Structure 1
Amino acid sequence: MPSLPKVENWRDVLALCLVLLGLQQVGSAGLIEAKARIAPLLIDRAWDRSLESQQRAVKPWPWADTWPVGKLHAPSVGIELPVLYGDSGNVLAFGPGYSPRSSPPDQRGLTVISGHRDTHFAPLADIHLDEVLQLEGMTGALRLFRVNDIRVVDTRKEQIQIDNADTGLMLVTCYPFDALSVNGPLRYVVHAEPLVNESALSQVRESYPF
């Protein structure tokens, strides 16, 4: 093995450390960028395979601790994203996550989905009351919802309750959207009620060709 060049003084040590640190940072940045580009493609492919297999969980990569369980559409703000199982920080790094404590996307009850305010759920800042959302489940079943409540919850004073006696869709992200700090106590909560009236559904399908 070739020997390393002799270090003559502390300036050489410092220079060598700075070079090694720079190489590490360049490598890390390239790895992060590659993951950011490739992961969504693998998740989309896993979702397509889940639909083909009718409700079989398909991991986007072999060591993943999550998999797509649905797809969320909010056409007015440009959201069309697979929803992943779980709502841990590791999951939310790759996309919106469904809370296992709530109802699955293709079943009745309250479905709760979380996402990061500065990436996947940033468009929620522009959503308004009465806008229509669509949630697709692993069986291919579609559920339509209309936004009926938008509010900010201070988790120091109030916990976000998941009541499966309720029926609807809840989208949750941190607030404010332009905050410089992370993990603050405020949450932006969008609640949408199910559309079950046939007349209302017909009007929605004319206005929102999903």
Structure 2
Amino acid sequence: MGTVLPDLLKNADKTINIQPEKFERHEHPFVDSILDGWKRHLEVDRYFHNSGFFKHHSHELKKALKPATEGSPVKPFFLGHIALELLLDNLLITTGKVNVDTFYDHLHNTKQEHLHSFLIYSKLSNPDVFFKYLDDFKKHRYLSTYTDAAQVAYALKRICMRVWKDPFTPEQEAMLTEAVLNYRLLLLPEFMTVFDDIGARLD
């Protein structure tokens, strides 16, 4: 739960900005366990976004997706960044590196009172907003849709719709899907290198 919590909170409400990593450790072991996962997420993010892999592939994806953004308010750099992360999610799931059922089991097995204690400790003013989102996230099992590479392009569109109204025409959506599917094939042989590299740095 701790390792995915920063992303879940941002998806629940993009205005949420808590920084529990700056606080002293909590006396409750479950709160500390979530905090360890939170810190791990930040550390992985820092390595990933500064890696040669991320810089190269987000740039190449930006170029591959740029034709689909002509006349659209969506910035190709933003698209390249998000598309790479979504494609990595898809590849982890479709190659069996991550088991979706196990992932959701972990979320379900986290007791709400422990998570609530962590959020209060982190000075989140209204945890109810987050818990409503979390219940929806667990119920609909969004990650299960990532087994279909075409759904990656759909997820990309949905993320853009949080920022821009009607960001793509149907023709642009088709171009997005084609570019995403093609780039997935390019990534497939080498995508684990970035995870191996980060794992070696953190161990």
For the criterion TM > 0.5, the same-fold answer is no
- Greater share of helix: 2
What is the TM-score normalised by the length of structure 2?
0.28
- Greater share of strand: 1
